[in-house]
Chains A and B, each alone.
Chain A
Amino acid sequence: MTKPRNSAQPWRVLWLIPVAVLAALSIVATSGGSGGGDNSDDGGGGGDLPLNILPTYNFFMTNLPGDTPLTVSVGSSFAVSVDFDGLFPGSVNLDADANNIVTFLSYIVRSGARVDLTLTSTDPSPLDGTFAVIVTEDINAMVDDAPVSGAFNVVTAIETVSVSILGDGIQLTLNGGAPVVYNNWEEFTDLFDDESQETWQRRAALAAGAFGFVIEQFFSMADILDELEAVTFTSPVVEVCDMFTGTPPEGVLAQGEITITWLGSGELSNDDDFSWQFNQCWSDDSSELIDGTVSLENYTETIDTNNNTLFEIGFGGLSGEPGGVVYEMTISDTVENQGVFTIPPEGVMTINGGFALIIQAP
């Protein structure tokens, strides 16, 4: 009878270490990239060819390194801080014209995305405290519109509110109980300001509002990305804002301006910083007055030189690298009465902290 031989010797087990390492590296190295790791940061990999921008990109938001969560204070009433739990993932569909000016069309916040919100009121409120907002089904929406589908949970230590975005309304359930349905997104989010409503519903409305705010900030920052290279040619770039259509609030300029300053030199390259300053900039469309600075730190851009396609762009990094979008600004509602604009105290929103933002090819 032939007995199979075995030559296994104890020292041979050591060979498994480099074999395992080789296996892991060979799997990871199949990831797309810029062939050989020669990352270009200026889109020059394709010579004079225009940069290709894909119709869909993933995006990720995460906390800034250190303890500087995105925090929004509303008047002297309350403050909400947003703590991204790891990476906040999503994707965007976009249209890039012949000059690579990008228009964002729609977005998805992916299931599993989570933020922890902490509400702190000046006067004690039943809403105070920290709660988690966890996306349980992909949330789909057109840019600047209310979500059309998806679901998320609002979780405290003692209750879970499930919010489902349905075709004909918004359905809320508390701990799996009887559903409560609202006709549309606005009706649902307005619950937060209605103190006669139940706390769990107001908390869910706050969660929805915070989600909307985070997405709005994402697109505000993403929208400027395609302008940054042009800024480096004529930095600083100054744009005038809308002029007040009446008497501006006391101490406010009749017409403010926005200044974008590139803080780098030579060519636009990774780790460059930009300063986006709003000097009493009023918008006729939104009736909002913006004042302050958004620092765009540690710009990152990677081109896939194999096909001259934008692979990654953003500020900061996903693994705790320095940089990101850092706010130090106020957004104030303005109210017009007989041609005179004023700013109600409860209409002043102060934004501090920020997030890192990376948009990446799928």
Chain B
Amino acid sequence: MLVPTRQRGPEIKMLFLATLLLATGIMVYALDRAGAVYFLPDWTATPTGTAIFGPLGDHLPTFLHPLVFILITAAVFRPWLRLLPAICAAWFAVECLFELGQMAPFDSRIAEAVPSWFDSVPVLRITADYFTRGTYDPLDILSIGLGTVIAYPIVRAFLRGE
């Protein structure tokens, strides 16, 4: 008897697209922002940013991040189509919370609540810095929204096998 097997094509395509978009976001930090972020090694640093992405680079990462993670979520979870709006909304909320957390007085409150043991864990030790150093920008919220809205038809198309 032939047992129908599930097509894995959409998941792979979504993960591939997510990787591509993630790489684009990393390039913004590496090229336009002089590598001055935690996740990039020192050797990527340049004296000044080369501004390859121009003004677009200011908000491209915040646009791409929800898009990437909605794609990844859909790829690994393969949800019902009717769940897709909820997934998009959830990522929008999460991303906005991080952005809003950079706004005073939330930034200092969050930094204060960060447990001291974070200091001994790579990446986690800059958690407080993310909130206190980062600057809240309403345009980032807008780009998060745009990323979320654009993610919806893309993922929907993948899930429908179009």
Contact = CB atoms under 8 A, between A and B. Distances in A.
Interface stretch (A2-10, A98-106, A147-155): A2-10
Contacts of A37: 38, 122-123, 125-126
Interface in B62-80: 65, 69, 72-73, 76-80
A5 B74 CA distance: 13
Contacts of B132: 58, 60, 89, 318, 360
B24 interface: no
B13 interface: no
Contacts of B108: 60, 86-87, 89, 110, 112
Interface string A24-42: 1111111111111110000
A178 interface: no
Given A111-B105, A319-B118, A362 B112 contact: no
A306 B35 contact: yes
A320 B37 contact: no
B73 to A, nearest CB: 6
Contacts of B54: none
Given A36-B41, A89-B108, A28 B133 contact: no
A306 B41 CA distance: 9
Interface in A320-344: 320-321
A305 interface: yes
A307 interface: yes
Interface stretch (A13-21, A215-223, A281-289): A13-21
Interface residues of A, number: 51
Contact of A28 (B45, B83, B126): B126
Contacts of B122: 37
Contacts of B123: 25, 28-29, 37
A100 B109 CA distance: 32
B61 A30 contact: yes
Contacts, number: 164
Contacts of B79: 6, 8
Secondary structure at chain B's binding surface: helix, strand, loop or mixed?
Answer: helix
A28 B34 contact: no
A186 to B, nearest CB: 29
A305 B111 contact: no
Given A31-B133, A60-B132, A89 B38 contact: no
Interface string B26-59: 0001000011111111101101000000000000
B130 A4 contact: no
Contact of A112 (B95, B104, B133): B104
Given A27-B98, A362-B135, A4 B81 contact: yes
Contacts of A301: none
Interface in A152-176: none
Given A34-B42, A37-B126, A89-B105, 20 more contacts: A2-B160, A7-B6, A15-B77, A16-B76, A19-B69, A24-B98, A25-B123, A26-B39, A30-B39, A31-B129, A32-B36, A35-B36, A35-B37, A36-B41, A38-B42, A58-B133, A89-B107, A113-B105, A319-B112, A319-B119
7 contacts: A8-B79, A27-B65, A30-B37, A60-B111, A89-B108, A305-B45, A319-B115
Interface of A: 2, 4-8, 12-13, 15-16, 19-20, 22-38, 58, 60, 62, 86-87, 89, 110-113, 304-307, 317-321, 360-362
Interface of B: 6, 29, 34-42, 44-45, 47, 61, 65, 69, 72-73, 76-81, 83, 91, 94-95, 98, 104-105, 107-109, 111-112, 114-116, 118-119, 122-130, 132-135, 159-161
